[in-house]
Amino acid sequence: MTLNPEPSPRYSAARFAAAGIAAVCLTVLCPSHGAELSATPGSAGASTNAVERVAPPTIYSPPVDRFRFGAYGPGVVSNPAFYPIPQDAVTRDTYLRWMEEMDLFRLVDTPKAGLSGPQRFLPVLVKYVQTGERRQGEALITMLQDWHRAMREEVAQRGWTEQFIEEPCFIPLYRKHLIAGGLMKEDEAWFRDLWLDYCRNIHVWGSKPTEWRGGCHRSMPEALMKGLAAKWYPDVPEAAHWRRYAELGFNDFWRNKEVQQNDTGYFPGPIFMLLTCGDQYLGDDRAATDPGMQRLWKRLTVEVTPDGAVNPYGPNGGWNSTAGFRLFALELVAARTRNGEYRFAAHRVMNYLRSQSKAIQGDGFLRDREVGQHVALAWLFADDSVKPVMPDAGSLWNRRLEAARIPHTDKAVAERLFGSPDPDPDKGHICCSWWLTGREFPDKLVLRSGWNPGDFFALVELHPTSVPYNAGAILGLNRFGAVFTQVVTSKGDSPENRLMVVDVDRTTRRRIHPDRLRFDEEWRPGKMPDIESEVSFFEERADATFARVRVKNVDGMPAVYEREFVFVKNGFLATRETVTFEESFKARVSPIWNTRNIGSQVGTHWANTFMGSLVANNGQVEMPSPPVDLLVWFAPRPECRLQVVDRLAEDPRAIACGAQLRYVWDGTPKVGDRLVFTQVYYPHAPYRPSIHSNHAGAKASYADTLQATAHASGIRVIRDDPDATVLRIEMSLGVVDWVVFNPDGNEVEVAGRRTQKPYDHVREP
């Protein structure tokens, strides 16, 4: 017997048509009623254009278990079959147990590890500090001596060693604890030879120049390691020079107390050695406790999602990139500052990492280095007497110093910016070409519903000059522990979840920064776009957050880009993107959303999307994510068309997030013209029509319209024009939200009343 009820009037064609749902979509969604539910598109301003698939032919076949859970609510995070992220209290013992589960302590049996030893043996150091066992300490000594042997071989073959990342951070830690445990003396001859050989042969860029400047991720380790050498061995001929270089390098960073890299890949470099060994060089804890350093630690805290994940941005190593570093850094600064907020965020990060343990264990790099070594550091520095304290649960936006890229080989530039350059032509160059200008710009907009597991969260880029240029872009969106987008790991152009403006005929002259020393994203001097950003509105309420960012000369073009946000807590995110043209040119303008899966529910101006698994370790490893879908809805415009794009055909770097939705407008705007594009992003449970019979010819049953359309049918456009937008949103029956964008403060009508508020959210009782 086939159970296939007839549709009720609630699911009528008229209801679909009023919501702008196209007949082509209904045929896909409801095959048993395709003829009955064929709607005439066009109502409520719906586009009549078909969906364009700019992609190779594919078969949409999501995993079956995506559909095994029902509607989501607060209780869903208590079901471990759905929500795999532990909610346990974290202590130092948690870190010990995790390293045991990863089988990291077994390294004690193979201490001759060559060049990889210092990077991998921190768990053995943990065991030595915990137990005091001589066997553990002797294994560390053997490891260090074998590293010295391998390093000398590298120098003999290449002329220098390039081991500049973890080695200068970790080797002084081994020395410190071996001395404390009685297995080494401060003047141990073999260690003296090791460290001096290292300092005399380090080339942090694998090229002839040495002793870089600028407080960056190569110059800081080189400066501090030589500063330690001068402190430990003041009798060596280089001591005075190394001492001076260390002072200069440290002051390059300390002048601004900022990292140049706006990313989740390289940013640890300038502060890594300061955290692990800064007390040995400086003789105090100022690297962690100085008031000026707190903005760095607060930045690391607020970017953590309620579930403990780190949304990657900028050049990065993939999903949850450098989360391990964030874990250890926050544990360390919590111990030194006694600030429990840092420890709260660290413990969220650790619980999320525990949920990814299976994938981490199966990958040597993630297990031993990206996560393992940092969990060991977390144990070494954590203080269980510091009680975790929940940080502020509201949304916010913060600032960072502007970083500019300039010629790194020009000694005159180095002298002007940093002072005291070395007369040696192969010393004193500017590390990575980075220079902090001293000017502040907005950094990130953090949209937070709270710190409870599963809370809705968004991370938005605000900074105008970091590469890639993505001010206004949604870098991360998270709900119920799931992830809805993942950015490309990019050192160049990569538009991410923002309005994309294309000069079709390439006739416009880019607006270039007046400082012609600056490089653009293609490393071309004198071509840096003159982009600036500002947060022109921000309001935080218990039910919603309202914000507006303004970007001048977006992508260097003669246009002003504004993005407005209405973030309804634990509900949905509505945004409005406006571009105002200051010159006339043939343009293609598209709001975009990057994801991994699009469909099967697709309309002419909306689509259902989901990420599924996430890509980590530079495209090598898949990470799990709970099964949650995201409706991406564009306010219908008759002159626009929806495209489903294969990003990989355009950019092979997009392996982690290879599909894109574009709502495309083509035309030649006049000077002063404004285009407005409004979107709604709504996380929801996956849905597919169910089959209630195994007989031949069985048809799918027809469920609620909202689910069948990924909730797109619940959104009504009351008004959408450059002056104001009013949306009526009913994502579940009987619960109605009204959203208002009214940036000029004109009088508009919403839910039967008039308001002049620039932004508002109203929920009908």
325-383: pLDDT as tens digits? 999 999 999 999 999 999 999 999 999 999 999 999 999 999 999 999 999 999 999 99
CA 539/CA 548 separation, integer angstroms: 10
- Helix (H) / strand (E) element for 679: namely strand 674-684
pLDDT value of position 18: 38
State the CB neighbour count (10 A cutoff) for residue 168: 27
Find where tokens 């280095």 sit.
369
pLDDT value of position 490: 83
pLDDT value of position 28: 31
β-sheet bridge partners, residue 576: 564, 678
SS3 550: strand
SS3 319: coil
Average per-residue pLDDT for the chain = 90
Residue 759 has pLDDT above 90, yes or no: yes
Find where tokens 């619960």 sit.
735
Residue 141 has pLDDT above 90, yes or no: yes
Tokens in use for 174?
Answer: 């081994």
Overall average pLDDT of the 278-300 stretch:
98
CA 127/CA 492 separation, integer angstroms: 43
Q: Where are the domains of the chain?
A: 452-688+702-715
pLDDT value of position 72: 84
CA 519/CA 700 separation, integer angstroms: 58
Overall average pLDDT of the 453-461 stretch:
98
Of the listed ranges 220-234, 301-315, 638-652, the one predicted with least confidence: 638-652
Contact in structure between 563 and 442 (CB atoms under 8 Å): no
Q: Are strands 559-568 and 544-552 parallel, antiparallel or unpaired?
A: antiparallel
pLDDT value of position 328: 98
Handedness of CA 13, 19, 20, 25 (dihedral sign): negative
pLDDT value of position 59: 66
| Cis peptide leading into residue 391 (ω within 30°) | no
Tokens in use for 350?
Answer: 């650790």
390-440: pLDDT as tens digits? 999 999 999 999 998 887 777 788 878 888 778 888 888 888 888 899 999
pLDDT value of position 704: 77
Contact in structure between 679 and 575 (CB atoms under 8 Å): yes
Contact in structure between 606 and 644 (CB atoms under 8 Å): no
pLDDT value of position 58: 61
Percent of the chain with pLDDT over 90: 76
| Cis peptide leading into residue 600 (ω within 30°) | yes
Nearest to 177 by CA among 380, 382, 334: 380
Nearest to 349 by CA among 313, 394, 386, 302: 302
pLDDT band at 10; cut points 50, 70, 90 = very low
The values of phi and psi at residue 139, to 5°, are -65, -40
pLDDT value of position 63: 83
Tokens in use for 450?
Answer: 């709270």
678-711: pLDDT as tens digits? 999 999 999 887 777 888 888 776 667 888 899 9
Residue partners of 91: CB distance under 8 A and separation at least 6: 382, 384
Q: What are the distances in angstroms from CA 326 to CA 41, 105, 308? A: 50, 22, 11
CA 113/CA 314 separation, integer angstroms: 33
The values of phi and psi at residue 287, to 5°, are -60, -30
Q: Are strands 573-581 and 587-595 parallel, antiparallel or unpaired?
A: unpaired
Amino acid code (one letter) for 91: T
For residues 189, 195, 196, 198, the Cα torsion angle rounded to the nearest 10 degrees is 140
291-333: pLDDT as tens digits? 999 999 999 999 999 999 999 999 999 999 999 999 999 999 9
pLDDT value of position 731: 94
Overall average pLDDT of the 723-730 stretch:
97
pLDDT value of position 521: 81
pLDDT value of position 616: 96
Contact in structure between 280 and 246 (CB atoms under 8 Å): no
pLDDT band at 4; cut points 50, 70, 90 = very low
495-551: pLDDT as tens digits? 999 999 999 999 999 999 999 888 888 888 888 899 999 999 999 999 999 999 999
Tokens in use for 553?
Answer: 């000369």
66-85: pLDDT as tens digits? 888 887 887 899 999 999 99
27-58: pLDDT as tens digits? 233 322 222 222 222 333 344 567 887 766 66
Tokens in use for 258?
Answer: 């900022």
CATH of 452-688+702-715, one of 1.10.3470, 2.60.120, 2.70.98, 1.20.1460: 2.70.98
Nearest to 358 by CA among 627, 126, 626, 98: 98
Alpha helices in 382-457 (DSSP H): 411-418
More confident residue, 599 or 41: 599
Residue partners of 505: CB distance under 8 A and separation at least 6: 585, 586
pLDDT value of position 159: 95
Residue 202 has pLDDT above 70, yes or no: yes
Tokens in use for 226?
Answer: 């030589």
Residue partners of 328: CB distance under 8 A and separation at least 6: 275, 374, 375, 377, 378, 381
Q: Are strands 621-623 and 52-54 parallel, antiparallel or unpaired?
A: unpaired
pLDDT band at 658; cut points 50, 70, 90 = very high
pLDDT value of position 39: 26
Contact in structure between 321 and 267 (CB atoms under 8 Å): no
Residue 492 has pLDDT above 90, yes or no: no
pTM metric for this prediction: 0.92
Residue partners of 192: CB distance under 8 A and separation at least 6: 232, 233
DSSP at 115: G
State the CB neighbour count (10 A cutoff) for residue 650: 11
Tokens in use for 209?
Answer: 């120049």
CA 543/CA 124 separation, integer angstroms: 49
Residue 556 has pLDDT above 90, yes or no: yes
SS3 124: helix
Q: What is the largest CA-CA distance in the chain?
A: 93
Overall average pLDDT of the 226-253 stretch:
97
- Terminal C-alpha separation, the chain: 42
pLDDT value of position 702: 60
More confident residue, 204 or 237: 237
